[in-house]
Every structure is written in structure tokens, then in C-alpha cells.
């Protein structure tokens, strides 16, 4: 179990769809070039990029099993961009640099797609659709133009009728379709990466929480319950699931929860509501995110600092589903769960060397599938002495996130944004 923070442990729908395999606990001492702490997508992508660069002297230590954190419990949307929106990114680093950084995340989407093909992970559907909750054509056009200006990305604009070919609900106006994006079972992908690393001679250990980390000569010493690992370099990628290992990192990150539920099979009831293959989210700050998986609906939403139990999550998700698809107000859910995202105050990933030999790849927020993959490449390059891309992330280092008060501030701003969205929606319906 990871240290010091509760987790939403209800089983996910994804777990039922992968082969049962437990990665063994580390039981003997090791000396390695690189130790990665945390087998979420950030840690595994780093190890995978190191493998692709020919490095095998790498160990991955995971407190639970690979993908037990956010990476194996998320919505499964793989799309470009960072948690920080495109326009704030431009304001921070200028247009040219922001466009380059955005491009890295879109290249990462292609990289995940390529790895899926190579590892035999199937995709659930193509495209991600941003549906206009506020039914405001002008506002949506302005958003599309702003995204284009800030990223260079051409989203496909759909009017209301065209949007209905993808998702059919009176709740929305038009939509913006991100081509190239896709959705899949994220746990299947995480486990495929872990299997491939293991088969290629890197060690991946489950049930191996790192309890202490300390300097040892020119490198680092990690202690788990049963073993000591000495490493020249350490990459800490524990997301929102560790609350004590590297205090400087812990102080910079808020764990923020979000929830997912999967319905019982609904044969014949979803095709007319979601005729397209795309996954869908909407233009509110606190958006719903959902997708059709066979004859079931996977529904996600909400942002909270509370770790609710499955029944409470189910009740919230049922209410949210009914607002978009009133005909599904009666559906039952077979699975519901939550997960912790990790947010820095600046909403960008924390990537870099905290102290000599101690690296961080964390704080990917709610937009992590592509950026963690990009981060793996950037860290692997930097560990090989090619630090050019890493330099781009220097200005978003670890900074104090405000402690418990900061978490409540994050919750309060979510409520404020929620209220602002409700007022906007009310005005646009009037
Ligand atoms: C419900 C939900 C839905 C989401 N939907 C999407 C989506 O659709 N698309 C998208 O792009 N992003 C989504 N996200 C965000 C995305 O999942 C995350 O940004 C991303 O997975 C973060 O990866 P990570 O490797 O940094 O963290 P994690 O996946 O959380 O991995 C951290 C790992 O570190 C391990 N660990 C912790 N402490 C220790 C220790 N002391 N020793 C060893 N191991 C330790 C944990 O057990 C965990 O496995 C969602 C997140 C959630 C929670």
C-alpha cells in the first residue's frame, strides 16, 4: 500500500478485462543505474523510453500493482495538451515555445497509439469530442480559434446537427472534434508496458512500496520492506499517491479526486445516444467525460478533495448521466470508483532534477495520458545527457502548494467555477 493517504479501492471495470498477474515483491538487495518509484504511466513510460534507448539496468518499484493509481483508473481519453490550458501556457512562455510544447503532447498521443499497436492493446474508439454545454455558437467558434492560435491544432467544428451524429443530446450545442485522439482501457495499456519491460529484462516489482530514500555516496539508497536498492539515479513518479517520501515534492502537490462509473449492459439503448466512436467531454470547467464501451456506458466527472465510497460516487454519476441523457435516468451501475490526480499550483507537470541524481516526473493533473508519455521521453533523454527539452519545464519546479489550506482553496475554486458554469448555462438557455 502507498504511504499516508487513503485511496479509492473499489475494483474498476478495467480490472475485469485484463489477465490476472501479480508482479512480485522485491526481496533481495540490488544495485542499479536507474530506480523508478511508482508504476503509473509516468514511471513506466520513463522505464520504457530508457529501454528503447538500450538501457536495461533499471528497476521499477510499485507500492501496489502497476496501474493501481490514476493511470489504471482513469477515463481512458488519450488526447493532446496539458492540464494548464493552451492560452495560459502562451501567456507564460510565449506563442512559439507554447506551440512546440503542445506539439510534444500530440506526438505522445501518436507514440501511445504506436505502442498499443506493437503491444497488442486494442483501442475502444477514435476521436475525442468537446461538446458545447452552453449552446453558444459564437463562444465555441471563439474557443476553436483560440485553441488554433495557441496550439496550431485544427479542431473540426461541428454544428448542432453534425454533433448529433456523434452524440445525441439536447443538452449540447455544437462540438469540436480532435482528430488523432482516441480512447482505450488504460489499465490494459499500463500492464502491457509493464509486461514488455519485464520480458525485456528490466525489473518491475509490485507490492514494493519505497519507505525511505536517502543519499548514499554519489547515488541514492531506497528502502522497501524487504530490500535495499542502491541507484545512481532515482525517478520519483508517485503521482497523488505518496504523502511523505520526498517532502519537497509532497509539499508541491495536491491530490485531487475524480470519479468514474460503468453501467450494466444496455443492449440497444446506447447506439442512438452515442452513434459515433468518439469519447465525449464538455465545455464546462467541471466537465463530464464519458464514452461507449460495447453495450455499456463509462461515465466520469466531478473534482473533489473527498474520497467518497462507491455508493456515493454512483449517486453522483447517475444524476449527471440523467442531465445529459434523461432516458438513462434509471440505469444501474456495476462498477464505480475514484482516483487521485496530482496537481501542482501551476497546473503543469513537475519534471526535472530536484537534487543531484534525484528526479521528479509528477503533477500531470487530469490530463495525463499523453503528457506522462512525453515526460518519459524527456526524462530518458535528460538521463542520457540530452537535456534540451527538459529545460522547457524548468520554470514549473516544485513550489509550496499551500498545505491543507491549499487543498481547500482548490476545492473552493472548483465550486466557484461550477457556480460560474451554472450561471453561464442558465443565461444561454434564457
Ligand atoms: C478518475 C480519473 C480519470 C482520469 N481521466 C483521464 C483521461 O481520460 N485522460 C487523461 O489524459 N488523464 C486522465 N486522468 C489523469 C491521469 O490518469 C493522470 O494524470 C496520470 O495517470 C498520472 O500518472 P502518474 O504515473 O503520474 O500517477 P499514478 O498513475 O497515480 O501513479 C503513481 C504510482 O505510484 C505508486 N506509489 C505511490 N507511492 C509509492 C511508494 N512510496 N513506493 C512505490 N510506489 C508508490 C502508486 O501506487 C501509483 O501506482 C484521470 C485521472 C483520474 C484519477
Ramachandran area for residue 399 (φ above 0: left; ψ -120 to 50: alpha; else beta)? beta
Distance 276 CA to ligand 1 centre (A): 28
pLDDT of residue 319: 95
pLDDT at 416 over 90: no
Q: Ligand 1 pocket check: which of 234, 308, 366, 376 to mutate, most ligand atoms within 8 Å of Cβ?
A: 366
pLDDT (tens digit, 9 = 90+) per residue, 236-285? Answer: 999 999 989 999 999 899 888 899 999 999 999 999 999 999 999 999 98
Q: Which residues line ligand 1 (CB under 6 A)?
A: 2-3, 37-43, 61-64, 68-71, 73-77, 209-210, 237-242, 245, 258, 260, 289, 300, 339, 341, 362, 364-369, 372
Residue 405 pLDDT:
66
pLDDT grade, residue 109 (50/70/90)? very high
* 319-342 pLDDT, tens digit each: 999 999 999 999 999 999 999 999
Mean pLDDT (the chain) is: 92
Domain ranges, ordered by start, for the chain: 14-429
* 114 φψ region: left (φ > 0), alpha (ψ -120 to 50), beta (else): alpha
Cβ contact 128:278 at 8 Å: yes
Q: 365: alpha, beta or left, given left = phi > 0 and alpha = psi -120 to 50?
A: left
d(CA 160, CA 67): 38
What is each CA distance from 389 to 104, 147, 320, 380, in whole angstroms? Answer: 10, 23, 40, 11
Contact 13, 298 (CB under 8 A): yes
Beta carbons of 220 and 357 less than 8 angstroms apart: yes
Query: What separation in Å is there between the alpha carbon of 194 and the centre of ligand 1?
Result: 15
% of the chain with per-residue pLDDT over 90? 80
Query: Residues 322, 323, 329, CA angle at the centre, nearest 5°?
Result: 10
Give dist(CA 175, CA 144) in Å, integer: 10
What CATH superfamily is the domain 14-429? FAD/NAD(P)-binding domain (3.50.50.60)
Q: What atom in ligand 1 is closest to the CA of residue 190?
A: 29
Q: From atom 18 of ligand 1, which residue's Cα is the shortest distance away?
A: 368
| CA–CA gap between residue 66 and residue 42 (Å, rounded) | 11
Over residues 41-60, mean pLDDT: 98
Across 351-368, average pLDDT: 95
Q: How far is the CA of 390 from the centre of ligand 1 (A)?
A: 21
Among residues 398, 395, 361, which one has the least CA distance to residue 378? Answer: 361
What is the pTM assigned to this prediction?
0.94
Q: Is the pLDDT of residue 51 over 50?
A: yes
**Residue ranges with strand state E in 79-122:** none
Amino acid at each position: 500500500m502507498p504511504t499516508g493517504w487513503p485511496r479509492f479501492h473499489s475494483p474498476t471495470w478495467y480490472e475485469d478485462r485484463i489477465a490476472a498477474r501479480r508482479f512480485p515483491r522485491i526481496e533481495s538487495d540490488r544495485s542499479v543505474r536507474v530506480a523508478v518509484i511508482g508504476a503509473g504511466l509516468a514511471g513506466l513510460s520513463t522505464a520504457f523510453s530508457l529501454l528503447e534507448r538500450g538501457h536495461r539496468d533499471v528497476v521499477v518499484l510499485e507500492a501496489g500493482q502497476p496501474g493501481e493509481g490514476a493511470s489504471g483508473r482513469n477515463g481512458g481519453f488519450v488526447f493532446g495538451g496539458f492540464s494548464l490550458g493552451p492560452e495560459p501556457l502562451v501567456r507564460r512562455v510565449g506563442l512559439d515555445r507554447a506551440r512546440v510544447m503542445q506539439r510534444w503532447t500530440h506526438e505522445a498521443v501518436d507514440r501511445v497509439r504506436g505502442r498499443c499497436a506493437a503491444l497488442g492493446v486494442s483501442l475502444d474508439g477514435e476521436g475525442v469530442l468537446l461538446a458545447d454545454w452552453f449552446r453558444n455558437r459564437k463562444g465555441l467558434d471563439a474557443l476553436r480559434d483560440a485553441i488554433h492560435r495557441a496550439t496550431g491544432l485544427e479542431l473540426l467544428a461541428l454544428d448542432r446537427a453534425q454533433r448529433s451524429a456523434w452524440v445525441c443530446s439536447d443538452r449540447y450545442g455544437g462540438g469540436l472534434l480532435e482528430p488523432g485522439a482516441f480512447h482505450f482501457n488504460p489499465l490494459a495499456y499500463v500492464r502491457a508496458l509493464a509486461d514488455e519491460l519485464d520480458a525485456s529484462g528490466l525489473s518491475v516489482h509490485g507490492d514494493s512500496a519505497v519507505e525511505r530514500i536517502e543519499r548514499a555516496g554519489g547515488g541514492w539508497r531506497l528502502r522497501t520492506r524487504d530490500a535495499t536498492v542502491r541507484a545512481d539515479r532515482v525517478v520519483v513518479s508517485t503521482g497523488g499517491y505518496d504523502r511523505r517520501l520526498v517532502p519537497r515534492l509532497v509539499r508541491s502537490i495536491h491530490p485531487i479526486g475524480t470519479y468514474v462509473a460503468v453501467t450494466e449492459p444496455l443492449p440497444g439503448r446506447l447506439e442512438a445516444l452515442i452513434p459515433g466512436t468518439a469519447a465525449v467531454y464538455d465545455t464546462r470547467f467541471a466537465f463530464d467525460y464519458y464514452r461507449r464501451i460495447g453495450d455499456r456506458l463509462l461515465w466520469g466527472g466531478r473534482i473533489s478533495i473527498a474520497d467518497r465510497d462507491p455508493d456515493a460516487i454512483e449517486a453522483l454519476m447517475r444524476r449527471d448521466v440523467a442531465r445529459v441523457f434523461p432516458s438513462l435516468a434509471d440505469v444501474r451501475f456495476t462498477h464505480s470508483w475514484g482516483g487521485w490526480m496530482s496537481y501542482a499550483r501551476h497546473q503543469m507537470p513537475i519534471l526535472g532534477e530536484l537534487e543531484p541524481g534525484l528526479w521528479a516526473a509528477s503533477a500531470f493533473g487530469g490530463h495525463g495520458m499523453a503528457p506522462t508519455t512525453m515526460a518519459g521521453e524527456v526524462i530518458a533523454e535528460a538521463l542520457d545527457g540530452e537535456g534540451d527539452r527538459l529545460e522547457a519545464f524548468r520554470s514549473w519546479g516544485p513550489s509550496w502548494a499551500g498545505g491543507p489550506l491549499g487543498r481547500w482553496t482548490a476545492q473552493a475554486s472548483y465550486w466557484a467555477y461550477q457556480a460560474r458554469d451554472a450561471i453561464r448555462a442558465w443565461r444561454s438557455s434564457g
